[in-house]
Amino acid sequence: MDKMRALVKTAPETAALLTIPIPRCGSRDVLIRVKAAALCGTDLHIYDWNLWAQSVGISLPLVMGHECCGDVVAVGDAVTTLRIGDKVACETHVPCGECYQCLNGQQHICSNLKLFGIHINGCFAEYALLPAMCARKIPREISYDIGAVMEPLGTAWRAAQETRVGGANVVVLGCGPIGLFAVASALALGAAKVAAVDILPARLEMAKKIGAHMALNALSDQVGPAIQSATKGYGADVVIEASGSVDALKQSFQYLRKGGRVALIGLPGKPLSLDLAKEVVFKEAVIIGIHGRKMFETWTQMENLLVSGKLAVESMLTHVLPLSLWQEGIALAKNGQACKVIYHP
């Protein structure tokens, strides 16, 4: 038994479920039997081979997927932190361990960062290989499906945490999975009010279901006035931008009160112009870019809260499919019907 099924991006125009060799453990690696893997917007970009995918240094063929959870089935000679049988969730950011950032507590933005499922083979497969340091042991109480979304959840969690949402009026722009995870995180961190903004009714329904106090449709509602009136005319204390829309990014600053805080997670497809004097300098806006999770403080906090039940995200895992139905999962994610699609390889 040395072969496995894997979803491989084989060429710019094609992806296919193939039978390929199971990867072999290097001395610092662990081999993981993948039990659940979640589909992310990044996977859709790679599948479509859009301009972003073409620009980030991907070499094909590539096993797709980077959000997963499973059991360790083999460990390299030099691995002392994990054992066969450990349940692990995977950190996508693979740091070098030697650069300035790595040596100064910022491994998640390593200068030589490699990304699982983007620069190295990923997890839409029966088995996945990662450096042991990127496989985070999690307790048995956390299900494989939840373990598979700890990676995107951690990004959203960190945005809410770094913007200090406790007691704050928060606006979340974009209600894809990351935006919805940000709504859940803001609520878990004690936000006073959370307004969620999107253009798809199904996503706004989900935002309400998980506890957003307001769900505003940017196409049909007067979002700015609604936020003003919900905040006594001051504007939002915190805006979490998770849409990547250039218009939404500009509006982030319009919705923000003076002295407020903005977390940027969404990736705009093009440069944008902003009236910095008005929207940032005179407003004293604090802008925080969020590229993934702190390694591993964010993971520790998420694990604690998931186990205690204070952070609940089950309802966002809307579709669970065998990997053989990968095309169906992509279609569900693209048409906005699904929040999070989980594959069981």
Active site residues: 42, 45
211: buried, middle or exposed (CB in 10 Å: 19+, 13-18, 0-12)? Answer: middle
Secondary structure of residue 296 in the 3-state scheme: coil
- CB closer to Zn ion, 105 vs 289: 105
What residues does 198 pair with on adjacent strands?
217
Cα 314 to Cα 70: distance, rounded to the nearest angstrom: 18
The stretch near Zn ion (CB under 5 A) out of 49-57, 88-96, 205-213, 294-302 is: 88-96
Cβ 97 to Zn ion shortest distance, Å: 6
Looking at beta carbons, which residue is closest to Zn ion? 110
The stretch near Zn ion (CB under 5 A) out of 104-112, 153-161, 241-249, 312-320 is: 104-112
Residue whose pair of structure tokens reads 């999690």 in the numeric block: 138
- CB closer to Zn ion, 116 vs 326: 116
341: Cβ–Cβ under 8 A, 6 or more apart, which residues?
38, 39, 318, 319, 320, 321, 329, 330, 332, 333
Cβ 119 to Zn ion shortest distance, Å: 13
- CB closer to Zn ion, 104 vs 220: 104
Provide the phi-psi class of 7: left if phi over 0, else alpha when psi is between -120 and 50, else beta.
Answer: beta
Amino acid at 291: H
- Does 102 engage in binding with Zn ion (CB under 5 A)? yes
- CB closer to Zn ion, 110 vs 240: 110
Which residues in the 157-186 window bind Zn ion by CB under 5 A?
none
The stretch near Zn ion (CB under 5 A) out of 7-15, 103-111, 114-122, 153-161 is: 103-111
- 192-199: Cβ within 8 A, 24+ apart: 192/167, 192/168, 193/169, 193/230, 193/231, 194/170, 195/169, 195/170, 195/171, 195/226, 195/227, 195/230, 195/236, 196/171, 196/172, 197/171, 197/172, 197/173, 197/223, 197/248, 198/174, 198/243
- Does 96 engage in binding with Zn ion (CB under 5 A)? yes
Q: Which stretches within the chain are classed as H helix? A: 41-48, 51-55, 144-148, 150-162, 177-188, 201-209, 223-230, 246-255, 276, 297-308, 326-334
The stretch near Zn ion (CB under 5 A) out of 87-95, 123-131, 200-208, 238-246 is: 87-95
Cβ 105 to Zn ion shortest distance, Å: 11
- CB closer to Zn ion, 111 vs 315: 111
The stretch near Zn ion (CB under 5 A) out of 101-109, 118-126, 161-169, 206-214 is: 101-109
Cβ 62 to Zn ion shortest distance, Å: 22
In the list 18, 73, 99, 320, the residue contacting Zn ion (rule: CB under 5 A) is 99
Cβ 210 to Zn ion shortest distance, Å: 36
- Does 115 engage in binding with Zn ion (CB under 5 A)? no
Q: Provide the angle, in degrees to the nearest 10, between the axes of the packed helices 150-162 and 177-188.
A: 50
Count of chain residues binding Zn ion (CB under 5 A): 5
Contact 30, 74 (CB under 8 A): yes
Which residues in the 269-328 window bind Zn ion by CB under 5 A?
none
Cβ 9 to Zn ion shortest distance, Å: 26
Residue ranges that bind Zn ion, judged by CB under 5 A: 95-96, 99, 102, 110
